Amino acid sequence: MSIAWTSRYALRTKDIKSSAIRELLKITQQPEVISFGGGLPASDVFPVQRFEEACRRVLAEKAVMALQYGETEGYKPLRDMIARHIARYGIQARAENVLITTGSQQALDLIGKLLINPGDRILVEAPTYLGALQAFNAYGAEYVSVPCDEQGLRTELLEVPLRFGPKFMYVLPNFQNPGGTTLSEDRRRVLVSLGNRYGIPIVEDDPYGQLRYEGEHLPPLVVLDRENVPHDSGYTLGNVIYLSTFSKTLAPGLRLGWVVAPAGVIAKLVQLKQGADLHTSTFTQVVAYEVARGNFLDEHVKQIRSVYRERRDVMLEALRQYFPAGVKWTYPKGGLFLWVTLPEGADASKLFLEALKQNVAFVPGDSFFPSNEQGPESRRHLRLNFSNARPEQIREGVRRLSVAVKAHLEQLRVAQPS
Ligand SMILES: Cc1ncc(COP(=O)(O)O)c(C=O)c1O
């Protein structure tokens, strides 16, 4: 008898769908399509030669260790390096506060496993990172969302939802995905102090913090939070779990991210990670360590910043040149994305089909909202990535997209005569 597999799937899989972005990426990989869709770093900035040398050195000098099973916590020299590296942003962690994960996406999944019981409410920004919603959905999360503006999460709206006791808050303070916005320093302080007052943990997801193109670096939430526990030199206290990754600074194919948290939280995450994958690839960790060591990572990040800054500027300029009145967009001071808002009544999913006819792609904004928040308002947005196309493609892509936008708005006007 052939098994009806769907009848065997666990209840937690019921509401799980494929990531809209991953599905879209498949369509938009045809060479004639200019894609502002994925969150892909530019492949022309990958430090290929440095990887080649590092792989050779690892195999010549450390092959036995690099090809063997390793500790779940991660390769100790890499954890030490991360601890040194983040110290410059004021994060005073030791190796026992750092867990290496298989991308920060795995960290989101492990945090879901650690903190979410079915029906728990998670406070998220609206919009928020789709991959986090996907990870948390698998554990039966529900959501309460708080809107963002150009200064990031609107912290003045937090008190009421916090009184209902969400399990934790998930926030992206730097160059948010998808909004491109940055949480102001004042709001960071308000957020941390509210978390403290109501006893609600914060998960701070920071893949883009180093990719700042203008302005001063702002203190991470984890740093502001640790100011509340000045005598905890062993880093056993604190309300913030901080995540970052090498995906946007070295290469996403490495699948290397990390968690910084109080030592007890890390120890529990380690147990959960054992059940997931024993440990992140030893070989990859050792190679990444060899690639990043010395001054290399800093120099490399400088180069990435200058490439992406130019691409951001080209996109902003092209939007100003081609897009019709009534369409707005954010001004990202870093990161990979900007967020476009169409006039009321517009539907970015319909626009997407129109845009594909023009051979240009983006991600409709709807999927960045929890399903209970999706509706006419969430459908008015699109996320544009500016890191993965060359400047001349960006100009041409925005021009093509403007043709689709104008056609879509014209259809709206005809359908709703004033
Ligand atoms: C906000 C955010 N968190 C996490 C991730 C996952 O990154 P990683 O490649 O480290 O798994 C991404 C990737 O785009 C992201 O934008």
155 lines ligand 1 (CB under 6 A): no
Tens-place pLDDT, residues 201-243: 999 999 999 999 999 999 999 999 999 888 888 898 899 999 9
| Confidence bin at 16 (pLDDT 50/70/90) | confident
pLDDT in tens, 113-138: 999 999 999 999 999 999 999 999 99
The yes-or-no verdict on residue 308 having pLDDT over 70 is yes
pLDDT of amino acid 31:
86
- Mean pLDDT, the chain, rounded, equals 94
Name the pLDDT band for 414 (thresholds 50, 70, 90): confident
Q: Is the beta carbon of 166 within 6 A of some atom in ligand 1?
A: no
pLDDT given at position 415: 82
Percent of the chain whose pLDDT exceeds 70: 98
Whole-angstrom CA distances from 103 to 95, 204, 248, 256 are 18, 15, 11, 4
Atom of ligand 1 nearest to the CA of 172: 1
21 pLDDT more than 70:
no
Nearest to 37, CA basis, from 367, 364, 362: 362
Pocket test for ligand 1, best of 105, 182, 363 (most atoms within 8 A of CB): 105
At residue 25, the pLDDT reads 65
Q: Is the peptide bond before 127 cis (omega within 30 degrees of 0)?
A: yes
Question: CA–CA distance from 100 to each of 68, 74, 88 (Å)?
Answer: 16, 5, 19
Q: Is the CB of 105 under 6 A from ligand 1?
A: yes
39 pocket-lining for ligand 1 (C-beta < 6 Å): yes
Specify the residue for token string 């006007």.
Answer: 413
Is residue 99 scored above 70 in pLDDT?
yes
Tally of CB atoms within 10 A around 294: 9
pLDDT for the residue 85: 93
Q: Which residue has the tokens 């928020």?
A: 128
CA-CA-CA-CA torsion for 235, 83, 305, 297, nearest 10 degrees? 180
415 or 161, which is more confident: 161
Residue of 104, 136, 243, 336 to test ligand 1 pocket, by largest number of atoms within 8 Å of CB: 104
Give Cβ neighbours of residue 350 (< 8 Å, ≥ 6 apart). 408
How confident is the model at residue 418, as a pLDDT? Answer: 58
pLDDT at residue 266 above 90? yes
Residue 38 or residue 390, greater confidence: 390
Sign of CA dihedral 330, 386, 305, 282: positive
Q: pLDDT digits over 23-81, tens only?
A: 666 777 788 999 999 888 998 899 999 999 999 999 999 999 999 999 999 999 999 99
| Residues contacting residue 53 through CB under 8 Å, at least 6 positions apart | none
The mean pLDDT of 347-365, rounded to a whole number, is: 93
- Name which of 9-18, 128-137, 237-246, 358-367 the model is least confident about: 9-18
Query: Which pLDDT does position 247 carry in this prediction?
Result: 97
Q: Where does the pLDDT of residue 22 fall: very low under 50, low under 70, confident under 90, or very high at 90 and above?
A: low
